[in-house]
Amino acid sequence: MNEQRQCGSCGMKSMERAILDVNRNFQGHTLTIPAVDGWHCPSCGEVEFASREEAERFFDAAQANQKEATRSQAEALSAPSEAAWD
């Protein structure tokens, strides 16, 4: 039988220990952090990490993805628009 925990965010008693890809939305971009080891809530998506190292890996990857999304948006905004020349 799988051990379950109660989610600290939504209160559901359905968190399960697993290694799953985690998707997060940031400024219209979906960021995927692969193979996150921890307790996952299927109701709200909250994750309690299995270790400090796993949490650091997750946040480092999320930060790198957020920087890339911000850079892409900045490039799109600074590119000359064809409509501006009409």
Alpha helix positions (H), 1-86 = 52-78
Cβ atoms within 10 Å, residue 30? 10
Contact indicator for 58, 71 with CB cutoff of 8 Å: no
pTM of the model: 0.73
Q: Scan for tokens 């900045």, then name that residue.
A: 74
The domains found in the chain, sorted by start residue, are 4-76 (3.10.20.860)
pLDDT tens, position by position, 33-81: 999 999 999 999 999 999 999 999 999 988 888 888 788 778 878 877 6
**Total number of residues shown for the chain:** 86
